[in-house]
Amino acid sequence: MKNLVLFIFFLSFFSCKNHTDNIYGTYKSKELTFFQKVKYNNTSDIRGLQLNLKPDSTFNYNACGIIFDGFWKIKHDSLYLSPEKSKWKKDSLNKIKEPIKNVKDFFIYKIEDNNLFSFIRKENHIDIIKLEKE
């Protein structure tokens, strides 16, 4: 019985995963797999994005022609991005209009293994962003 209790303790201790251990690095948007489309009951996904998470809790996010810089934090199984600065990728546009900084749901990601998922609610559907670690 004592061995069983020790086994359960060690199993639960080592199975607890700290998401910050391996979160740093570059992520690129990828198409949802067939199983992810079934799991989330969705075929809509957004591609062409790149996120760089740095160990000092800062990030750089190249998304849809806009570059965001800011800070990130992890709460439970989610990654929260807090953009501080944004600019258009095409510099000539920056002189005309400042890009949007905060889009609801766009800066919150669910952490699953080496993937980050964002669920952006639209009027009659949900867009999913899948970022995969390189």
Helix (H, G, I), strand (E, B) or coil at 8: helix
- Which residue spans within the chain are E strands per DSSP? 25-29, 45-46, 50-53, 58-63, 66-75, 78-88, 108-112, 115-121, 126-133
Report how far residue 31's alpha carbon sits from residue 10's, in angstroms, rounded to the nearest whole number. 37
Question: Do the domain assignments include residue 50?
Answer: yes
pLDDT in tens, 91-132: 777 777 777 666 666 789 999 988 999 988 878 778 889 999
Residue 3: both structure tokens together: 């061995």
Find residue 29's DSSP bridge partners: 131
Question: Do the domain assignments include residue 30?
Answer: no
Parent domain of 74: 46-134
Question: Do the domain assignments include residue 71?
Answer: yes
Residue 22: both structure tokens together: 């391996």
The structural domain count of the chain equals 1
pLDDT of residue 3: 52
Question: Do the domain assignments include residue 102?
Answer: yes
Question: Do the domain assignments include residue 114?
Answer: yes
Report how far residue 27's alpha carbon sits from residue 14's, in angstroms, rounded to the nearest whole number. 26
Decide: pTM greater than 0.85. Answer: no
Question: Do the domain assignments include residue 41?
Answer: no
Residue 81 has pLDDT above 70, yes or no: yes
Question: Do the domain assignments include residue 12?
Answer: no
Question: Do the domain assignments include residue 20?
Answer: no
CATH number at residue 85: 2.40.128
Share of the chain above pLDDT 70, in %: 80
Distance separating the N- and C-terminal Cα atoms of the chain = 44
